[in-house]
C-alpha cells in the first residue's frame, strides 16, 4: 500500500501510538520547540500537517487555529481543518491571513521543490510581521540515519537540507529575518532544525 493511502486509513489512536520514530521526532526536541510555539498563544495560527494536534494544543485558544492535513479526520481538536497539503495553502485558505504558520515534522515528506513552494505559500498566508515556524530534517549525522531508517520503516523518500539550503529557499520566498536552531545535536551535528522566519 502506498504511504498516502496508508495514512488516509490511519486512525487517531494509531497515529498517536508511541513508537521509536514518534519519540525521536516529537518528544526529544520538545524542550526547544514548545517555548517557541507558546509565544503564538492567543494568535491566529495556521497549522499545516497538524495530524491529531499534538503541538497545536500548546497554542490553542478558542477559534484561533485553522488546520491543513491530508487526513483531516485525524484531528480531534475543535478547529477548522482543510483537506490538503503544504503546497496548496493559498488555494485552501484563500485571502485569509495569519499571525503564524506552524508545521512540525511535516516537511520531512516534501521534495526540495515542494519545500520551496511551502515556504512561498506560507509567506502568502502571513500577515505583515507574521512568523513561519517549522522543522526541517538536516540529513546529516543522525539526520542521515533518521532519513534512512524512516525510508525503511515507512517506505517513503525523505529529504535532508543544510542551513544554507534552507536559508536560500526562505529568502527566495521573501523572508528576511531567519533564525535556524539546531535540534538534537550529536557531537555538534544536528539531525534536524527548528526554523523561524518572518519579513
Predicted model pTM:
0.84
pLDDT in tens, 56-96: 988 887 679 999 998 888 888 889 999 999 999 999 999 99
Largest CA distance in the chain: 44
Q: Which portions of the chain are predicted below pLDDT 50?
A: 1
Q: Can you spell out the DSSP letters for 53-102?
A: -TTHHHH--TT-EEEEES-GGG--SSSEEEE--GGGHHHHHTT--EEEEE
Contacts of 157 (CB under 8 A, 6+ apart): 111, 151
3-state DSSP assignment of residue 19:
coil
On whether the CB atoms of residues 165 and 133 are closer than 8 A, the answer is no
Q: In the chain, count H helices and then E strands.
A: 9, 7
Q: How far apart are CA 151 and CA 160, in angstroms?
A: 12
Give 67's Cβ-side CA count (13 Å radius): 28
pLDDT of residue 7: 67
* Residue keyed to cell 480531534: 76
* CATH entry 3.40.50.150 includes domain 3-198: yes
Q: What's the pLDDT score for residue 82?
A: 95
- The pLDDT, as a whole number, for residue 186 is 62
pLDDT of res. 1 = 46
Q: How many CB atoms lie within 10 A of CB 174?
A: 14
R_g of the chain computed on alpha carbons: 16
Rounded to 5°, angle at Cα 37 from 34 and 43: 155
Please report, for the chain, the start and end positions of each structural domain, with discontinuous segments joined by +. Answer: 3-198
Amino acid at each position: 500500500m502506498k504511504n498516502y493511502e496508508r495514512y488516509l486509513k490511519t486512525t487517531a489512536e494509531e497515529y498517536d501510538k508511541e513508537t521509536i520514530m514518534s519519540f525521536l521526532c516529537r518528544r526529544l526536541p520538545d524542550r526547544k520547540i514548545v517555548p517557541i510555539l507558546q509565544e503564538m498563544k492567543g494568535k491566529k495560527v495556521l497549522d499545516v500537517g497538524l495530524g491529531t494536534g499534538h503541538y497545536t494544543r500548546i497554542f490553542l485558544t478558542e477559534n484561533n487555529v485553522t488546520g491543513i492535513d491530508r487526513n483531516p479526520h485525524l484531528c480531534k481538536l475543535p478547529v477548522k481543518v482543510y483537506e490538503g497539503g503544504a503546497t496548496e495553502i493559498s488555494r485552501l485558505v484563500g485571502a485569509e491571513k495569519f499571525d503564524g504558520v506552524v508545521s512540525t515534522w511535516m516537511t520531512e515528506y516534501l521534495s526540495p521543490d515542494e519545500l520551496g513552494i511551502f515556504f512561498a505559500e506560507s509567506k502568502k498566508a502571513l500577515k505583515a510581521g507574521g512568523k513561519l515556524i517549522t522543522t526541517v530534517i538536516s540529513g546529516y549525522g543522525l539526520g542521515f540515519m533518521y532519513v534512512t531508517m524512516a525510508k525503511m520503516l515507512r517506505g517513503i523518500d525523505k529529504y535532508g537540507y543544510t542551513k544554507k539550503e534552507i536559508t536560500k529557499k526562505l529568502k527566495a520566498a521573501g523572508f528576511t529575518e531567519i533564525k535556524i536552531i539546531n535540534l538534537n545535536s550529536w557531537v555538534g551535528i544536528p539531525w534536524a532544525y527548528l526554523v523561524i522566519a518572518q519579513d
